[in-house]
Structure 1
Amino acid sequence: MSSIRVPFLDLQREYSEYGNKLVKKVQTALASGRFILDEETAAFEGEFSTYIGTNYSIGVNSGSDALYLAMQAIGVEGHEVIIPSHTFISTADAVVRNGGIPVFVDVDPETYTIDPEAVAEHVNNETAAIVPVHLYGQPADVDPILEIAEEHDAAVVEDASQAHGSTYRGDPVGSLGDIACFSLYPTKNLGAYGDAGIVVTDDDDLAERVSMAREYGASEKYRYEFVGVNSRLDEIQAAMLRYKLTRLDELNERRREVAASYDDLLDGVSTPTVEDDRTHVYHLYVVETDDREEFRSYLDNHGVQTLVHYPTPVHEQPAYEGVGKRGDLSVTERVADRIVSLPMHPWCREEEIARVADVVAGFDDA
């Protein structure tokens, strides 16, 4: 048996490559004596807006807060918000915490992203927003959703937390809907060294409301127009994110190279379809298997670490029992029982990719 052990993710390799530059960025931020919403944050927000192609970027404490503040800015209280159930819990939490009613709909059986046909079946005059989640690094099919939203005067809130740098029909995700949210958690394609997030939009009013809401609802110092929160991107994280943003495209390209190697080596393994009109940035590389626990155990015993994103759909979580509305979720439930995420990051070595493929083939032959 090979002695190679393949971690799911290894951020120490990232630090080994970029650590010296990141430390200098931190030292500059520390020497400034200004740590909250100052020059580094403003610069990062401007650079991120340029990268995404939006007028505004508002740095916040986390991706979860980004979603929460976006929903608050839109005003979903008492209204329905259509979301996929195959997503991280934050997508739904942002709706419920703002007094909205989540409407869980199914995903497309080929891409695992939100199914526009399911959206069309459940949209109505009570729909305040629709949330396409750009899952695993591949954009959702947004154009049909934009058309549905326009017909019903609903907002489109992109959850782009796994898709930094991906494009849909030539346009960057985050620039497609009314407002978009990115997590900058350390494991993301663009990750901080702690919690961080960012909201982007072209809408003047939404940008102003999010900017105020992240500072308690303040229009100026000690004047509060509504009840907000304390959710601010700090200068140290912003300084490091500025540097990492300059490397994002090359790191995404390396992810695509890793994915292409998997595609070549994992003959006959079922994966989500990658649509030609979308650029996938492979936050995750996901496969399907008939017996997930046995598959994962076999890979682990042979030195390959895996994870599952996500084993339990949101509508089946105890916290969401009896909460919201739901349609047919048969694809979501089937997918949730079968998916496994293989090691995927820009620092995957060729021998590690080959090892993963060998072990997967060994399981298939067992």
Structure 2
Amino acid sequence: MKVPMLDLSEQYQELKSEVLEVLDQVMSSSRFILGDQVKKLEQDIAKYSNTAHGIGCGNGSDAIHIALQALGVGPGDEVITTPFTFFATGGAIARAGAKPVYVDIDPATFNIDPEKIKAAITEKTKAIIPVHLYGQMADMERIAQIAKKYNLAVVEDAAQAIGAKHNGKSVGELGTAATYSFFPTKNLGAYGDGGMIVTNDDEVAEKSRVIRVHGSKPKYYHHVLGYNSRLDELQAAILNVKFPHLERWSKLRREKAATYTALLKEKLGDLVVTPVEKEGNYHVYHQYTIRVEKRDELQKYLNEQGVSTMIYYPLPLHVQPVFKELGYKEGDLPNAEKAAKEVLSLPMFPELKTEQQEYVVAKIAEFYGK
């Protein structure tokens, strides 16, 4: 049996007629940049996030960078974040001219440990970027308390967590702003790049809108140094077709996750550490990520058996070569470093079949002699 990490073909066949129809509407309108499709998506995603504003941009990486710039983060500032994330998080901080300050993670959830944030705050700290990794929100209530005490902005990197909740609060409600990615593999994915900032802060929203169009307002009059990062009208149209299905897809992901957990516990007991969903959280399982011994050998074996897996992420940001000037070394953030050696993400998408999951777990059990 072949089990892909992700298969978008069935989803496309389900939505094909709607997608082609809306693409034809955009083509016929000849309005390709910041048109009605983008406006509709911005409004819908903002409402979904219980925020006042949505600002579409070119991709999730730009969304973080634009939000930081809108908050006035720049050279001489420090931004506290997690090392256990995709490069875009740390890269956006550095591109803004600020210094990434990495603190360790909660080993149970893989998200930033709020209690380690306080010790990293200095007079140069301007913001915190928690990453809602794998689809589960970080402890935003605690992070918001710390941010308020020290007068810091919070930009939630929610690239993997659209629809997630923390004690009933949506992404974007407790932070100053939150950012989404619509990369094709995401829970709400376009057919190319796309991203969005959501916020309740009117000033951050207005500045973000200006920054994404070369810093011009009105057109051709530039008061800040922005750049070109607009959400494409065609991608917005596709996302508008997909968006009404997001809640159903999230529920299906949760069902697949529950199936994996039950099967793994039955077949392997404590040999595999399954995802921990913290009380009060609504996890949307962008990834179903386990912790295992002999991770690399297991991945190789599963690949030979037709099972695709991924490692998110094999090298934490604090020890990436590009950040060597920050002075971190192996051993500084042990929880992140240990996770990087043990995590393995299994196939996860709403259309995943139970027999495929049974096959995946059977092959894992086979590898461990169970």
TM-score range, shorter chain: over 0.9
Identity of aligned residues (%): 43
| Alignment partners' CA distance in 1, 2:328 and 2:157 | 20
DSSP-derived class of the 1:255 partner: helix
Equivalent-residue separation in structure 1 for 2:328 and 2:93 (angstroms):
13
Say which SS state the counterpart of residue 326 (structure 2) adopts: coil
The correspondence for 2:8, drawn from 5, 8, 11, is 11
1:260-290 deviations in whole A, cap 9, x for unaligned? 1001100222023111210000000001111
- Alignment of structure 1 residues 299-338 onto 2, 5 Å: 299-323=302-326, 328-338=332-342
Q: Which aligned pairs between 1:221-300 and structure 2 lie closer than 5 A? A: 221-267=219-265, 268=269, 269-300=272-303
Q: Work out whether residues 125 and 152 of structure 1, in 8 Å CA contact, stay in contact via their aligned partners in 2.
A: no
C-alpha displacement at 1:324, in angstroms? Answer: 6.9
* Contact 2:263-2:361 within 8 A present in 1 as well: yes
User: What's the counterpart of residue 27 of structure 1?
Assistant: 24
Answer yes or no: is 1:127 the counterpart of 2:125.
yes
Q: Per-residue displacement from partner, 1:99-121 (whole Å, max 9, x unpaired)?
A: 10100110001111000011111
**Unaligned stretches of 5+ in structure 2?**
none
Report the Cα distance in structure 1 between the residues aligned to 2:21 and 2:169, rounded to whole angstroms. Answer: 33
Deviates more, 1:88-97 or 1:123-132: 123-132
Q: Distance in 2 between matches of 1:176 and 1:184?
A: 22
Partner amino acid, structure 2, of 1:302:
Q
CA contact (8 A) 1:105 1:328 kept: no
Q: Is the contact between residue 127 and residue 152 of structure 1 (CA under 8 Å) also seen in structure 2? A: no
Question: Whole-Å Cα distance in 1 between the matches of residues 2 and 90 of structure 2?
Answer: 36
SS in 2 for 1:266: helix
Contact 2:319–2:328 (8 Å) recurs in 1:
no
Paired with 1:301 and 1:351, the residues of 2 have a C-alpha distance of 18
CA distance in structure 1 between the aligned counterparts of 2:366 and 2:308, rounded to whole angstroms: 15
- Where does residue 41 of structure 1 map in the other structure? 38
Q: How many residues align?
A: 363
Of the candidates 81, 87, 90, which is equivalent to residue 89 of structure 1?
87
Tell me which residue corresponds to 1:179. 177
Residues 105 and 119 in structure 1, CA contact (< 8 A), matched pair in contact too: yes
Per the normalisation by structure 2, the TM-score is: 0.96
Deviation larger for 98-107 or 171-180 = 171-180
Residue 175 (structure 1) shift:
2.0
Tell me how far 1:222 sits from its aligned partner: 1.0
Q: SS state of the match for residue 224, structure 1?
A: coil
Superposition misfits of 4+ residues, deviation over 2 angstroms: 323-328
CA distance in 2, matches of 1:217, 1:23: 34
Q: Which AA in structure 2 matches 1:21? A: E
Distance apart, 1:25 and its partner CA: 1.2
CA contact (8 A) 1:102 1:325 kept: no
Distance in 2 (alpha carbons) for counterparts of 1:36 and 1:324: 43
3-state DSSP class of the match of 1:219? coil
Supply the distance in 1 between the matched residues of 2:61 and 2:222 (Cα, whole angstroms): 23
Q: Give the equivalent residue in structure 2 for 1:208.
A: 206
Q: Is the 8 A contact 1:57 1:201 kept in 2?
A: yes
Cα RMSD after superposing both structures: 1.2
Further displaced range: 319-328 or 274-283: 319-328
- C-alpha distance in 2, partners of 1:179/1:295? 39
Indicate the residue corresponding to 1:220 in structure 2.
218
Secondary structure, aligned partner of 1:198: strand
In the aligned structure 2, how far is the partner of 1:325 from the partner of 1:364?
35
